[in-house]
Structure 1
Amino acid sequence: MTVSDAYSPPLFSIAPMMGWTDNHYRTLARLITKHAWLYTEMLAAETIVYQEDNLDSFLAYSPDQHPIVLQIGGRNLENLAKATRLANAYGYDEINFNCGCPSPKVSGRGCFGALLMLDPKFVGEAMSVIASNTNAAVTVKCRIGVDDHDSYNELCDFIHIVSSLSPTKHFIIHSRKALLSGLSPSDNRRIPPLKYEFFFALLRDFPDLKFTINGGINSVVEADAALRSGAHGVMLGRAVYYNPWHTLGHVDTVIYGSPSSGITRRQVLEKYQVYGESVLGKYGKGRPNLRDIVRPLINLFHSESGNGQWKRRTDAALLHCTTLKSFLDEVLPAIPDFVLDSFAFKEATGREDLFADVRRLLPPPYGKESSKALERMPTRPVILDEEE
């Protein structure tokens, strides 16, 4: 039994987003949903290793954030092994390896992220190294392809090789390929076409593995549609950041079938204020500052009465407020009481038929001849540090 077995299954998870899914945002998200799986921002293994004396500021989180997944990236096996061991003290429920980030900082100079999909043998080795240094489950997040390496069989080769060489049995699939030159990370989230048919074909061709779908899903209604169509899990990103209340507020009831918590945004802010005051400046040199702590709150009243004034007051208040209490005292009058004290009503927006025709578009099955992909891969030694 893994630690993650103690929690609801990862039917719904919040994507790791650089600069966004920090400890502050995850604290807010957990106040709204008790069951969604939370992911950290991607942390390079080198960062964890080189910041060994300052790990709390990168890896610490409150116990109520469980279930929580640490996403790491990197290409050096020694650093991946050491970073995993250092993270063990923090008790993450899973460790996820990033094979999907198209950022030039990662796939270019860093030589990891989505670029690793072109080296599945290494990814399999890396996952074995990570798994051998932790008791947590290990997973991979990837794209459906990279540049011109975007055929369904190439995706299957990647899945087959990684799962054959390591204990990895769960893949989070962003259903767009990555274009590593000519497109920014934001363009890579919208310009390459979504190919949901590749994802659902993986369910058919790898029945012993688990797959979570990611990309282009913007509401709990659409997440539920994916699950009803056979996905083992659904991951949402920007939608839950830009509209946290009207997405996360429905996860527990719609996805997990749990009773509504009955929490209001006024109560969420009261709890978040306690958290914010406790961490303000905690790590020295003014880190985190008030702006860091307030940032996850900006979209809490998305599309509600008073939202525009709330955002204008926020900009002004951050110029002079020094505590979260003083900030909230100044900006909250912009929001009517009926908004502050209302519950998350049942969500009715979203494309319930998003995956209705996907089975008709499935590519041909991954042939048995493709199972020889592992034999075609060159053998490379796994290099570990002396402690191994």
Structure 2
Amino acid sequence: MKPLKFPHRSHGDRLPSYNHYRTLARLISKHAWLYTEMITAETIVHQKDNLDRFLAYSPEQHPIVLQIGGSNLESLAKATELANEYHYDEINFNCGCPSSKVAGHGCFGVRLMLDPMFVGEAMSVIAANTDVPVTVKCRIGVDDHDSYNELCDFIYKVSSLSPTRHFIIHSRKALLNGISPAENRSIPPLKYEYFYGLLRDFPDLRFTINGGITCIGEVNAAIRAGAHGVMVGRAAYNNPWQTLGHVDSTIYGKPSSSLTRRQILGKYQVYGDSVLGKYGQKPNVRDVVKPLLHLFYSEPGNGLWKRKADTAFRHCTTIKSFFEETLRAIPDSVLDSPVGETPVGRDELFADINSLLPPPYEVREQELLYA
């Protein structure tokens, strides 16, 4: 899975994701902003005759953000132009991915934080080839380049050199010393004070917070502390019912879908059976069902449901037959109950944030001119 966004009520929540997961997410929440997984500009350019496989999505997925990566200006320009046909609501440039294939061999993702001049130029190129808003997703630093001033230099240069006015900040630095992407989501400490320092020092820009936020109660806490938006990834994937089920009412003040899990699965079955084998052997039943495996997180029958799923993957050829074989493990009370009360989360997460802020950033114009 890649990003979901829960920003400010006027804009939405954000969540990175692949197509099947986004279909499930939209059945649960009508208003959260959904992100695609990161797609490289080179892939879009090289697959220009097969773009539906990479860029197509159902109209119900709006609002949706295309997340792209790359380090070649010509490819970024062409990829943006090709993507226009798919009418995404926003284009996000990934400067936060720490994987060795991306930041190492690929020399993009989070490694681009070390070259803000290029990022500014890239964002100008992307913006010049689209009419939708453009944003940057980044970390708070890379390896030893992790001071608050270095983060501010990056934000200042990119925003000064391009039309970028919105940054999604993963509040951990990235370590490019061989640890895995999963470890990069847990080993570097969270520094929310850096994020809230950016809000203070760049009042004309918008900032969405990302990293370590596990439920809607914590989303609300971040917004109350001043965040313009909140991006939730792992929590929305690992517990979609409890996380996404509260988004519309709690974050946006809109009526929730009021669908039960049984009703959602009925709608998802229609979708799933319609896309099986669309690209030869793919997607198969396992691919389509994968986003559902956490739908009953912590509920009675969850363990048995997953064991039945492992068996059913071996022979079921339709989503309907898969459900008929496996859903008997889940009690009717779980399948037919509405989403529960809003999880509170950690009230103290941002309680003392103002006392922890780093010293104010002082803009150094010469750095912009001579970097």
- The TM-score, its normalising length taken from structure 1, stands at 0.92
The aligned amino acid for 1:334 is: A
Q: How does 1:1-40 map to 2 (within 5 A)?
A: 9-14=10-15, 16=16, 21-40=17-36
Q: Structure 1 vs Structure 2: percent identity of aligned residues? A: 71
1:375 aligns with 2:369: yes
CA distance in 2, matches of 1:216, 1:260: 25
Residue 365 of structure 1 is matched in structure 2 by 360
Secondary structure class of the residue paired with 1:146: coil
Residue 311 of structure 1 is matched in structure 2 by 306
- By how many angstroms is 1:176 displaced? 0.3
Residue 331 of structure 1 is matched in structure 2 by 326
Gaps of 5+ in 1: 1-6, 378-388
CA distance in 2, matches of 1:192, 1:303: 28
**Alignment length, in residue pairs?**
364
1:118 aligns with 2:117: no
Structure 1 runs, 4 residues or longer, greater than 2 Å off: 7-11, 370-373
Secondary structure class of the residue paired with 2:299: coil
Q: How does 1:127-206 map to 2 (within 5 A)?
A: 127-206=123-202
CA distance in 1, matches of 2:183, 2:309: 29
Residue 222 of structure 1 is matched in structure 2 by 218
Residue 386 of structure 1 is matched in structure 2 by none
Residue 382 of structure 1 is matched in structure 2 by none
The aligned amino acid for 1:156 is: C
Secondary structure class of the residue paired with 2:347: coil
Residues 204-256 of structure 1: per-residue CA shift (max 9 Å, x gap): 00000000000011110001000000000000111110100010001111111
The aligned amino acid for 2:11 is: P
The aligned amino acid for 1:361 is: L
Secondary structure class of the residue paired with 1:121: helix
Residue 47 of structure 1 is matched in structure 2 by 43
Residues 135-191 of structure 1: per-residue CA shift (max 9 Å, x gap): 111000000000111111110010011001111000000000001113111111011
Residues 14-69 of structure 1: per-residue CA shift (max 9 Å, x gap): 1x2xxxx2110000000000110000000000111111111101100000000000
Secondary structure class of the residue paired with 1:13: strand
Residue 297 of structure 1 is matched in structure 2 by 292
Contact between 1:157 and 1:371, CA under 8 Å: does it hold in 2?
A: no
Residue 384 of structure 1 is matched in structure 2 by none
Residue 344 of structure 1 is matched in structure 2 by 339
- By how many angstroms is 1:336 displaced? 0.7
Gaps of 5+ in 2: 1-7
CA distance in 1, matches of 2:9, 2:220: 16
Residue 91 of structure 1 is matched in structure 2 by 87
Secondary structure class of the residue paired with 1:218: coil
The aligned amino acid for 1:317 is: A
- The TM-score, its normalising length taken from structure 2, stands at 0.96
Residue 385 of structure 1 is matched in structure 2 by none
- By how many angstroms is 1:8 displaced? 6.2
Contact between 2:29 and 2:256, CA under 8 Å: does it hold in 1?
A: no
- By how many angstroms is 1:12 displaced? 1.5
Contact between 2:100 and 2:178, CA under 8 Å: does it hold in 1?
A: no
Contact between 2:138 and 2:170, CA under 8 Å: does it hold in 1?
A: yes
CA distance in 1, matches of 2:300, 2:249: 25
Contact between 2:207 and 2:228, CA under 8 Å: does it hold in 1?
A: yes
CA distance in 2, matches of 1:10, 1:58: 25
Secondary structure class of the residue paired with 2:169: strand
Secondary structure class of the residue paired with 1:217: coil
1:266 aligns with 2:267: no
CA distance in 2, matches of 1:8, 1:177: 28
